[in-house]
Amino acid sequence: MRTVLFMCVVNATRTIMAEALLNHLGGGRFRAFSAGEYASGAVHPLTLECLEAHGIPIQGLHSKTWSRYVGLGAPQIDFIITVCDDSKEDMRRQWRQEPIKAHWDTANPAAALGKEEDMRLAFEYTFDLLKRRIEAFLQLPLGDCDPAAQWGAIMSVGEIR
C-alpha cells in the first residue's frame, strides 16, 4: 500500500476532500492523509456536507498539522501533493524519507463569496475536480516507472481542469 499526504495551509477543505476521495476510491491500494501548515481546528461544514452527499465516508476526518507526519513514529509517506500555491513551500521541507512531491493547484471553495447556493456550487466544483484528478492518479502506472517519471505523471494530473 502506498501513502499520499495532501497538504495546504489550513487543512479544512481541499486536502480533506482529497484525503477522503483517495481513501474511498483507492481500493486499498493507497492510504491518504491530509495536513496543513496550520490546522484550522475544524473541517469546513460544507466540505463534510459535500462528501456525504456523494456517499464518501467522513468518519475520522479532522484538521491537523503536517508535524504529525515527520519524525519517529510518523507513517512513511510515498507521495506529497500540495493543492495551494502557498503550500508549495512545504515541498522543500526535509522529510524522514524522500517522498515524491507534486503540486495540483486547486482553488479554495471556502473563499467563494456570495449566497449560500454559490458557496455550495464552489464546493461541488472542487469536489468534481479533485475526483477527476484522483481517478486519473489511480490509473497511473506508478510501480512501473522511476521517481522522475512518477513525479512527471503526478504533476500532469494536476493539469486536469
Which tens digits make up the pLDDT trace of 37-81? 888 889 999 999 999 999 999 999 999 998 888 878 888 999 999
Residue located via cell numbers 519524525: 71
- Across 10-107, where does the E strand assignment appear? 30-36, 79-82, 100-103
Domains (ranges, CATH) in the chain? 2-152 (3.40.50.2300)
Q: Is pLDDT at 18 greater than 90 in this prediction? A: yes
Looking at the chain, the whole-number percentage of residues with pLDDT higher than 90 is 69
Distance CA 29, CA 158 (A): 20
What backbone torsions phi and psi does residue 134 show, to the nearest 5 degrees?
Answer: -70, -40
Looking at the chain, the whole-number percentage of residues with pLDDT higher than 70 is 93
- Whose CA is closest to 74, among 100, 99, 38? 99
Contacting residues for 61 by C-beta, under 8 A, at least 6 apart: 16, 19, 20, 43, 48, 51
Q: Is pLDDT at 143 greater than 90 in this prediction? A: no
- Whose CA is closest to 106, among 132, 84, 121? 84
pLDDT confidence band for 33 (50 / 70 / 90): very high
Q: How confident is the model at residue 82, as a pLDDT?
A: 93
Q: How confident is the model at residue 87, as a pLDDT?
A: 63
The predicted model scores a pTM of: 0.93
Return the number of other C-beta atoms located less than 10 Å from residue 13's C-beta. Answer: 29
